[in-house]
Amino acid sequence: MDLGLNNKTALVTGASRGLGKAVAAALVAEGAKVAICARDTTRLEAAAKEIGAIGIAADLSQAGAVDAVLRQATDKLGGIEILVVNTGGPPAGGFGAISDDAWRKAFEALWISAVDLIRGALPDMRQRRWGRIMIVTSISAKEPLPNLMISNALRPGLHGLVNALSREVAADGVTVNAIMPGYTLTERIREIGVDEKQVAAQIPAGRMGRPEEFAALAAFLASEQAGYICGQAIACDGGFLRSI
């Protein structure tokens, strides 16, 4: 299937590794011109070279960083038609172990950076009357996961943002969706100490996901064919979620 992404322009954040990198690679493979953003300059440069993207180093939690990234991406690409907001996961921990500072930092990273990115990219999309916005959340936005209190608490609100915003911009040819990765074999999974065999036993598919499988969902939602999919939260989880 030709997804109609040849020469489309995309910005993918948090894309020096894991799901963000996989999504960026999938868009490049479909012919899109892609800029990727991440904090680690060395890892970012290596990822950009590997997949054929433009690297923009930035810490989006810092004041002014979002505006700078959007400006650089727009200058290098000629505009941003596809925005994939991937902020990575907040620290693990139960309620009692989370400080006020940790809550504030997580809100800035998960929420404010997403809002600022969308606010900056959206006007041009509406003017073009074509755009695709995706926020990478988590299955924890639908069903809480053990020891991930911050993610469990904050990510559901992003789905409310997606649904409400989609109603404002759908008539302008702009789609807004959330994509929920389930347990996927990334560096993040290893960092929070997930036991692959134990988790796989709870997944109807009998295994954990691969980043490229999640990336395929993102690439389709960016496509011409997905223009009528809007305001949704779509999981790529091997059937893990019990509710829909």
Per residue in 52-77, pLDDT tens? 999 999 998 888 899 999 999 999 99
Residue 43 contacts residue 64 (beta carbons within 8 Å): no
Q: What are phi and psi of 69, to 5 degrees?
A: -65, -45
Over residues 151-179, the pLDDT tens digits come to: 999 999 999 999 999 999 999 999 999 99
**Residue 4 forms part of a structural domain:** no
Any domain includes 3: no
pLDDT at 104: 93
Please indicate, yes or no, if residue 90 is contained in any of the structural domains. Answer: yes
Question: What digits encode the pLDDT tens for the residues 79-138?
Answer: 999 999 998 778 889 999 999 999 999 999 889 999 999 999 999 999 999 999 999 999
Q: Judge contact between 21 and 36, C-beta under 8 A.
A: yes
pTM above 0.85, yes or no: yes
Q: Based on the structure, what is the number of domains in the chain?
A: 1
> Which residues have C-beta within 8 Å of that of residue 152, sequence separation ≥ 6?
140, 144, 145
Phi-psi region of 18 (alpha: psi -120 to 50; beta: other; left: phi over 0): left
Residue 221 sits in a domain of what CATH number? 3.40.50.720
Structural domain that includes position 97: 9-234
DSSP 131: E
In a domain, 242, yes or no: no
- Which one-letter amino acid corresponds to residue 160? G
* Predicted pLDDT of residue 49: 97
Whether 2 maps to a domain, the answer reads: no
φ, ψ (nearest 5 deg) of residue 180 = -110, 105
In a domain, 1, yes or no: no
Identify whether 239 is part of a domain. Answer: no
The residue type at 154: L
The C-alpha atoms of residue 29 and residue 191 are separated, in whole angstroms, by 28
On whether residue 61 sits in a domain, the answer given is: yes
Distance CA 231, CA 179 (A): 11
**SS3 per-residue string spanning 56-98:** EECCCCCCCHHHHHHHHHHHHHCCCCEEEECCCCCCCECHHHC
Distance CA 29, CA 111 (A): 29
pLDDT attached to residue 113: 92
